[in-house]
Chain A
Amino acid sequence: MTHPYPPSPPLPDEEHARTLLRHMLLIRRFEEKCAELYTQEKIRGFLHLYIGEEAVAAGSIPLLGPDDSVVATYREHGQALVRGVPATNVMAEMYGKIEGCARGRGGSMHIFDAETRFFGGNAIVGGGIPIAVGLALAARRERSLGDSPDELRVTACFFGDGAMAEGEFHESMNLAALWHLPVLFCCENNLYAMGTPLDVAHSETELALRAASYGMPSWTVDGMDVLAVEDATRRAIEAIRGGGGPHFLEFRTYRFRAHSMFDPELYRAKEEVEKWKERDPISLLASRMREADMLDDAGMEELEAEVEAEVEEAVRFSEEGSWEPVEELTRFVYSESDVDGGQSP
């Protein structure tokens, strides 16, 4: 498959390359397990898999610091895992168990975690984008209040190509640019809004061009190449943190699986899917590592074993988890204490 990107950045050192590979592999194996658990009816509701798109989360999120924030979509297991939400709690959430990161109340589409500043999991397409703008507004405002982190917080906001047709996208881009806010807009362009192809939904399919119209630095990135993702994200975060205002990255990627577990995939050809699988982000990195003698069969097996153990532990944890008592049904409609609420800045 031809692609218009600049040459891939050089491989990082072995340890770092291994971490990138491990993150992608963790997402892949975790989600393959989810699909299996879904057929066993352990996981119910909607389940949207990220398989094929792993390089985007793995290449971007680990570059954020602990004081930064993440706003994601309903296809967010990968983001949560690499942000450091324990796989056990993510899986328990999908089981609907009380040990889940949202006590099981959100499920697959609503992963939340205060500790890692993971602000969801939003199942309304585009609905999280204004929230990211607000988090960035708070991040800027807290600088003048005194008790903020040393560095300007960055909010990374993930959304798909479909969200770029929403009014909330336009409003948020305008606000962020107008107010020069520290937001990193990460568009995961997987070419389909559920089943509607990009060119059936957008009059301008060069999405970075649209973002640039807000006066925002905007780049198109090979979303299958984790090193390209990392390189672009690193530059963008540095610029934002240095006061450069919002940046937009379009990650061109592809989901190998159906939109959700209900999708018969009538809208795309198997050949197209197969073609994209030739650029599987995990294989791409693994082969480069092999060529550079950073990885061999034994190393790969070791990695697979580590990841499998983590996934198995998540399943065990979830299986052993407990159901929230029905008596607690109406909790968390309103806050339970009279404390001056909200997250501390």
Chain B
Amino acid sequence: MTATYRAAVREAIREAIIRDERVFLMGEDVGRYGGCYAVSKGLLEEFGEDRIRDTPLSESGFVGAGIGAALGGMRPIVEVMTVNFSLLALDQIVNNAATLLHMSGGAFNVPIVIRMATGGGRQVAAQHSRSLEGWYAHIPGLKILTPATLEDARGMLWTALQDPDPVLIFEHVLLYNMEGDLAEDAGAVQIDRAAIRREGRDVSVITYGGSLHKALEAADRLAEDGVSAEVLDLRTLRPLDTEAILQTVARTNRAVIVDEAWRSGSISAEISARITEGAFYHLDAPVARVCGEEVPTPYPKHLEDAALPQVDDIVQAVRSILPGTEGGGS
């Protein structure tokens, strides 16, 4: 059947609420408004206020309440409208959700799922366009998921809810309208391993989330010129599937990392470091990165486009490390 990413997430929430009476959705405008990105549209009418709970604008308060509800035996799905606003809840996410299990010597785990939109590309300027999932991936105790496909949008939530520890799910804003085929019986998927979305021989393009589709488009373009690019979708940023990263690099001997986030101190830097640590002798060229320009994302389209990784940038980065180029070795 044809479905959108938005509908896939909505179906995942519906399924969770139906299957497990401890599950409820809570967040700003998830009920009456139907969700800022219309993900939860119709769910309040279907399930009522106990399961679909509108909250006031209190990110720290309702994320913390989600943590408390998880400690109290529930399985809350907390929606933070966007990653930008999650900064108001950082204390609860980092100091409590990620820390309580360890700090309590294993006495209290926190089975909460926190969903939020991430990324830029909609001309909504700096305070609504950040990609901070890599930041969160820095924190031990959290699991960081970045569904980029309909199957993952549909299937990651249930698996995350079965996890005894806090899981953050980042949904790229540009994906909500993405349409494609989704099997009628699509269901839970594993959240531990990366996935090769396109096989190739010459170079590995390593990416996740919204950038996956740009990487796939770049791979199509490169194929027209006879360059065979493998595209690895990380899917999960913490724990990183290091094995999959090293394996693809061992096959192609070249790596380009694509990430909307800034490059300094980033998940792309981490991936690059792991390649250096684990696949250095497989490399025929330096690792290349295509990242967000290090500016707060500007509003005008031409500047925003220039600030975010584009297909052309990926194609160019791949070319720059192919054999026979200056950076590409032999």
Contact = CB atoms under 8 A, between A and B. Distances in A.
A71 B163 CA distance: 24
Nearest to A335: B164
Contacts of A262: none
A94 to B, nearest CB: 13
Contacts of A105: 102-105
A110 B99 CA distance: 11
Contact of B65 (A69, A113, A120, A133): A133
A79 interface: no
Contacts of A168: 60-61, 64, 91
A141 interface: yes
A145 B20 CA distance: 11
Given A130-B67, A334-B101, A342 B58 contact: no
A341 B165 contact: yes
B71 A136 contact: no
A174 interface: yes
B72 interface: yes
Main secondary structure of the interface of A (DSSP, over half): loop
Nearest to A172: B61
A142 B71 CA distance: 13
A130 B65 contact: yes
Contacts of A144: 50
Contact of B101 (A145, A155, A332): A332
A124 B95 CA distance: 8
Contacts of B104: 102, 105-106, 110, 112, 114, 120, 332
A345 B64 contact: no
A245 B173 CA distance: 39
B205 interface: no
A93 B73 CA distance: 26
Contacts of B91: 124, 127, 168
Interface string A257-297: 00000000000000000000000000000000000000000
Interface stretch (B107-115, B213-221, B275-283): B107-115
B108 A114 contact: yes
A142 B163 CA distance: 20
A339 interface: yes
A119 B108 contact: yes
Contacts of A340: 111, 162, 164
A104 B105 contact: yes
Interface in B30-84: 50, 55-56, 58, 60-76
A112 B103 contact: yes
A167 interface: yes
B109 A335 contact: yes
B71 A343 contact: yes
B111 A341 contact: yes
Contacts of A142: 72-74
B69 A141 contact: yes
B19 to A, nearest CB: 12
Residue in A124, A131, A155 with the greatest tally of chain B CB atoms within 10 Å: A131
B49 to A, nearest CB: 10
Contacts of B164: 334-335, 337-342
Contacts of B102: 105, 332-333
Interface residues on A, range: 35 or more
Contact of A134 (B56, B64, B75, B165): B64
B24 interface: yes
B96 A131 contact: yes
A249 interface: no
A99 to B, nearest CB: 10
B225 interface: no
A100 interface: yes
Interface string A130-167: 11111111110110110000000001000000000001
Given A134-B67, A135-B71, A332-B106, A171 B96 contact: no
Nearest to B97: A131
A166 to B, nearest CB: 9
Contacts of B62: 130, 171, 175
A341 B65 CA distance: 18
A101 interface: yes
Nearest to A334: B165
B140 interface: yes
- Choose among B55, B106, B162 the residue with the greatest number of A CB atoms under 10 Å from its CB: B106
Contacts of A120: 100, 103-104, 108
A172 B64 contact: yes
Nearest to B106: A332
A331 B106 contact: yes
B64 A102 contact: no
A104 B104 CA distance: 9
Interface string B156-177: 0000001111000000000000
Contacts of B61: 130, 133, 168, 171-172, 174-175
A327 interface: no
Given A112-B103, A332-B102, A340-B162, A145 B22 contact: yes
A44 B22 CA distance: 41
Contacts of A124: 91, 95-96
Contacts of B68: 71, 119, 130-138, 155
27 contacts: A100-B105, A103-B105, A105-B102, A110-B104, A113-B107, A130-B67, A131-B67, A131-B68, A132-B68, A134-B68, A134-B69, A134-B70, A135-B71, A136-B68, A138-B68, A138-B70, A138-B74, A139-B72, A142-B73, A168-B91, A171-B62, A171-B64, A332-B104, A333-B140, A335-B106, A342-B109, A345-B74
Given A130-B62, A342-B111, 15 more contacts: A69-B72, A102-B107, A106-B105, A112-B108, A124-B96, A134-B71, A137-B68, A137-B69, A138-B74, A142-B74, A168-B91, A172-B65, A174-B58, A333-B140, A345-B73
Interface of A: 69, 71, 100-106, 110, 112-114, 119-122, 124, 127, 129-139, 141-142, 144-145, 155, 167-168, 171-172, 174-175, 178, 331-345
The 7 A-B residue pairs with the shortest CB-CB distance in the complex, in nearest-first order: A134-B68, A130-B64, A341-B164, A138-B72, A171-B61, A103-B105, A345-B73
